[in-house]
Chains A and B, each alone.
Chain A
Amino acid sequence: MIPHILRTALFGTEKQSLDTQTLPNALQASLARIATQEAETVLLQAITLSHFYEESGRKPPIFEGNQNPEIIVEEQAEAPEVYQQLYPSIKELPPFARFACMYAWLDGFVRLGAIPSPDNTITLLSDFTNYPQHIQAKIALCLGKKGRMLLPFYSDFQAEETQPDAQIWEEGKLKERRLVFQKLRQQNPAEAIALLEKTWQTETLPEKKAFLEEIAKTLVSSDIAFLENLWLMFAFKSQEKKAHKEIRWLLTGLLMRFTTSNVYQQLTNELKTYVQAEKSKGVLGWVGKTELSFALPTSDDAFFNAQSMEERWGLLTPKDYDNLPSAHTYWLSNLLEIIPMNFWENVLQKNTEEVVKYWQQDLYCHSIDRKKYPFLQKALIQNALHFGNQHLASVLCQQKDWVNFASVLPLLSQAEREKLILQHKVHTDAFILNTCFEGTQEIWSIHFSKEIIKACHELIFKRSGYISEALIALLSAHLHPSSIAFLESLDTSIGQHQHLRLHWQQRIVDTLVMNSAIREKIATLTQ
C-alpha cells in the first residue's frame, strides 16, 4: 500500500489529512474525477483505488535461493504397494501393542532396501511425534531423501547426518561425533582409536569422558596401549579439576579389565596384602582348619585412605560414603565393582558362588530390625555388568532375593531368562519380563510363549485380574507365532464376568491375532 495512504489510514483523518498530490499521477487523475469533499470518503476512495492499482500488473518476486538445484532423485525404490498398505492395519492396533509391529514393519524397509511411498512418507511424518524415540530413529532411517528433507518441518529430531563422517568428526556436535566414533568402533576399533588420538589434545574434558565411555562399550585388547598412555596423562596433578579425577577413575576401571595392565598389577598387588588366613568358624576351626579372608582395615593405612584413593586411582570420597557404614567399606565397594571376579576366586580360593556368599556375610550387612541387608550387592551387580560376567549374573539370579539383581538379567542367555521366569513363577510380572526382553527382537520359545499365555488366561479367568498394557506390549513383541493357535483355543466359557471375557477377547486375543497376522505378512513380504 502507498505509504502516505497507509499512514493517513492508520492515524485517521481527524489527525492526518490526505495530500492527494503525493499520490501517483494515475491515482490523482482518478480521484479528481470523483468530486467529493468529505475527508473520510476521499480516503476510502484513495484506499480502494490504490489497492487495485497495486494489485494489477504486479510481477511475481524472484526466488532468492539456489536457482541451479540438483534434482532430487531417490536412490532406493519404493517398497511394493502391498507392503506399504500394511501401515493402516498397524495403526489400527492399540498404541501399546503397535510399537513392536511398527518397528518390524520399518525394519522391513531396511531389509528390502526400499523406502515408503510419498503418501506413506507424509503419514509417517505426521505421526512422527506420537512415536517413542526408538521408532522415530527407525522412521528417520527408512525415509527416502525427500522424506528426510521434510523431517525438519515435523520435528526437531536429528536424522543421521548425510555428510561424510570425516566432516562430522571435524565440525559436528558431540552427539553426532559420538555416533561417528561409535560406528567406527564397531567396524574397526583400532582405527577409531587412531582417529581419537588425532584430536585428543583439543577435546574438552567432558568430550574425553564421553569417548572413553564409548570405548568401554567395545573394549578390545588393542586398546591397552592407548589407555595406559592416558593413565599417565591423567596422573594426579595439584589443583586438578574434578572431571580430571573422574576420568582417572574411569581409566582405572577400564584398565582393570586387562590382567596385563600396570594398573591391574598395582591394584591387585596392593589388595593381596589384605588377604590372610583365619581360623575357620565352628568345628573346622577347632581342628585347626584355616580359611582365607579379606581383612578390611578399620582405620586408614597406606592404601585405604582418602588421599591415596583419590590421587592414585581417581576415586573421590563423598561425605556420606554413599550410605555405606564407613569410608573403608565405600572404597571396598567401589573397588569390588572394577576388580574381576576371578581375582577374588584365586586369592580367596573360592568359586563364584562362595565369593558372592563371602561378600554377603554379616560383616558386610546392614542390620535393621534384626534383618540383614548386604550392602555390597550393588557392587556385585556392577561387577557383573562391568565385565559382562554371565556366570556371576547367573549366580546372583539363583539367590533367594534374586529380584534385587534384576538389572543383570539381560546378561543371561534367552533360555536362562525364560527358565528363571518359569522357575520363580513370575509369568505375568511385566517389570521382570520387560527387564529381560526390552530392546531385544527375541522371539520366545513356543513352550515359554504358551506358559505365559496360560498364566495370563489364569489371571483373568481364575483370579479375575486384568492384563496390563505393558504386558500386552511384551506379548505383541515376543510371542512365538506358533502359539497363537493355542491362545485362540483357550476356553473362555469359564469366565464369570462378561467384562473379563471381553478383556480377554478384545484386549488380548484380537490384538495378538491381528499383530501376529501383520508380522507374518511382514516376514513373508520381506523374505
Chain B
Amino acid sequence: MELSEKQIEALAPDASSLKAGKSLSKPQQWLLKQHNHRAIWGEIKGNGSKPYRTQVDLQQLAFKCSCPSFKFPCKHGLGLLLAFASQATAFEADASEPDWVKEWLDKRQAKAEKEEKKAEQTPESTEANEAKAQKAKEKRQQQRLSQVETGIDELRLWLKDLVRVGLLDLPNKNTRFFDQVIARMVDAKATGLAAKIRALRELNYTNDAWQTQALGIIAETFLLLEAYRNLDKQNPVFQQNIKNLIGWSQSSKDLLQDEQAETIQDTWVALGHEEVETEGILTHRTWLWGLQSNRTALVLHFVTPYAPPPALIPIGHIFRAILAFFPAVVPQRAIIKQSLENVKTIPQLPQSCSSWEEALQYQSKATALLPLVSDLPVVVQQVRLMTHEQQLYLCDHTWRYLRLSASVVPKTLHKMFAHAGNNPVLLAGILRQDGFLPLGYFESNRYIFLAS
C-alpha cells in the first residue's frame, strides 16, 4: 500500500497528534527503520528506558506501538509512516522481520484467516444444541422487543406532550429535559431514537431556522415510531431497515457468513470520511464509490480507546476489493470482504448527475423507497464555488445551488477554492437531510479530497 503524505495526515486522530507525528517524521530520528512487503517497523527513543517499537501493517493498514498513548494511531505510528512516505530509501528494504513484528503480523494474519474460514464453514451442530441456541435467541429477541416497545411508547407520549403544549418554549428547555428521554431510549436499547432526540437537543436555537429543523426531526422520529408500529405489515428487508434505524445493530460476522448477501467486486475510491462521537464511541464513516458498478458504500468502524479499528481506509485511496452489503431497501452499509489490489490512478470517472436538480431527483427516488434514508453519495458535474455577499455557494451549470449541510467545515470549501477557484469541477459529496456535504472532486485521473 502506497500512501501519500496527505492520506497519512488524514489518518491522524487530531491536530496535536498530527503535529507530534510530523515532528517524528525524519528518518534519522528513528534508531531502527526497516520494511518489507508486509510491514514497516522502527524503534524510536521515547520517555521510557527502552525505545518504543512501532509497526505498521501495510497489507491491511493497521498500527501497533509499545508507547502508552491511547490515541490511535499514535504519534509514533504517524511519524514512522510519514518518514517512510517521504524517504523510503532511508529504510532498510526487504528486511527480515524481528520477532516482535513477525509475531504481530502472524497473529493478524491468523485471525483474518480464522475469520475467513469461519465464514466459509457451515457450523456443525447437534440438533439439541441448535434448538437450545434458537430458544435462547428467541428469548433474547423477545426481551429486546419488549424493551424497545416500552421505549417507543414513552417516546410517543413525550412527542404528544411536546406538541400539545407547543414548541415555542423549546429553546428555553435545559438539556436535562432532553437528556432524560435520551437516557430512557438508551436503556430501552433504541439508540437510533436516542440519536434523534440528541439532534433535537443540539439544534442551534439562536437561529430562526430552528422551528423548521425541529419539526423535521419530530417528523422523522414520528415516522419511525409509526413504521415500527406497522412492522408486521412490511416485507422482511424493510422490517430489518426499520429495526436498524431504531437501534438494532448489524453483525459483520453474520454478513460474512451469509452466502445470500449481496457482494460487489469493483475498483473503489474512498471519497471521504467523517467521525462522529456518541456516548464515548467514535464512529468512523468512510464513503466508497465503485467506479465500474457506480455503487456507493458506507464502511463503518467503531473505535473505543481499547479497541482500535482493524483497518482504516485512507481518503483518496483507490483499491480493488469485494464488498459485502448489509441487506437494506437502499443498500448502503458494507464491509470489505476481500481486498484484492491497490490502484494508483483512477481508471474511469464515476457516473454523475448533470445538475443539482438531477441529484435531488435521485434523492427523492431513494426517499420514496425508504423515507428515512440519509447520506447519499453523489457526483455532480460542473459545480463551481461562487462567492456572493461574503457567502460561498456551490452552483451547477444551470446556476442553481444546494444549501450546505451544517456539518460542512468552512476550510473544506476554502480548500476547494484554493485549488479550483471558480472553475467548474466534477464534485463528489453527500446529500443529507440538512444539505450537501462536499468531500472532493475528480480531476482527470486523480481524486482531490477536500477534508483537511
Contacts and interface: CB of A to CB of B under 8 A. Distances in A.
Interface of A: 1, 5-6, 9-16, 38-41, 43-45, 47-48, 50-52, 55-67, 69, 71-73, 88, 92, 118-119, 121-122, 125-126, 145-147, 149-150, 152-153
Contact of A61 (B218, B219, B401): B401
Interface in B168-223: 168, 211-212, 215-216, 218-220, 222-223
B360 interface: yes
Contacts of A48: 218-220, 222-223, 226
A60 B222 CA distance: 27
Contacts of B386: 63, 65-66, 69
B45 interface: no
Given A56-B364, A63-B400, A122 B212 contact: no
Contacts of A62: 399-401
B264 interface: no
Contacts of B387: 65, 149
Contacts of B356: 60
Contacts of B212: 1, 6
A121 B403 CA distance: 26
Contacts of B357: 59-60
A152 B390 contact: yes
20 contacts: A1-B211, A6-B211, A6-B212, A9-B166, A9-B167, A12-B166, A44-B159, A47-B218, A48-B218, A56-B364, A58-B360, A59-B360, A60-B357, A65-B389, A92-B22, A122-B411, A122-B452, A125-B414, A145-B421, A146-B417
Contacts of B159: 40, 44
B23 interface: yes
Interface residues of B, number: 54
B351 interface: no
Given A44-B222, A69-B422, A11 B160 contact: no
Taking each of B223, B226, B421, which has the highest tally of chain A beta carbons within 10 Å of its own beta carbon? Answer: B421
Contact of A63 (B219, B368, B395): B395
B388 A12 contact: no
Interface in B130-163: 159-161, 163
Interface string B377-392: 0000000001111100
A122 to B, nearest CB: 5
B442 interface: no
A50 B211 CA distance: 14
Taking each of B161, B163, B357, B423, which has the highest tally of chain A beta carbons within 10 Å of its own beta carbon? Answer: B163
Contact of A12 (B163, B364, B433): B163
Contacts of A118: 415, 418-419
B165 interface: yes
A6 B419 CA distance: 42
A73 B421 CA distance: 8
Given A40-B160, A72-B422, A60 B23 contact: no
B400 A51 contact: no
Given A11-B168, A118-B415, A150-B417, A40 B400 contact: no
B222 A47 contact: yes
Contact of A71 (B166, B226, B423): B423
B163 A1 contact: no
B393 A65 contact: yes
Contact of A6 (B215, B393, B399, B433): B215
A280 B26 CA distance: 76
B164 interface: yes
Nearest to A49: B219
Given A6-B212, A121-B418, A153-B410, A64 B388 contact: yes
A146 B399 contact: no
Contacts of B389: 65
B360 A43 contact: no
B222 A126 contact: no
Given A47-B222, A71-B421, A122-B418, A14 B164 contact: yes
Contacts of B216: 1, 51
B32 interface: no
A62 B401 CA distance: 6
B225 to A, nearest CB: 9
B310 interface: no
Taking each of A51, A58, A62, A149, which has the highest tally of chain B beta carbons within 10 Å of its own beta carbon? Answer: A51
Contacts of B400: 59-63
A10 B371 CA distance: 25
B215 A65 contact: no
A5 B216 CA distance: 12
Given A10-B211, A60-B400, A44 B163 contact: yes
Nearest to B414: A150
Nearest to B371: A52
A12 B6 CA distance: 52
B402 interface: yes
A1 B360 contact: no
B402 A60 contact: yes
Nearest to A38: B160
A221 B159 CA distance: 85
A39 B23 CA distance: 64
Contacts of A13: 163-164
Given A52-B371, A60-B356, A66 B418 contact: no
Given A47-B222, A51-B216, A146 B360 contact: no
Contacts of A147: 418
| Interchain residue pairs A-B with the least CB separation, the first 10 | A12-B166, A65-B388, A51-B219, A118-B418, A72-B421, A40-B160, A60-B400, A48-B219, A60-B356, A118-B419
Contacts of B433: 55
A507 B402 CA distance: 52
Interface string B439-452: 00000000000001
B411 A88 contact: no
Nearest to A40: B160
A109 to B, nearest CB: 15
B28 interface: no
B386 to A, nearest CB: 6
Nearest to B25: A88
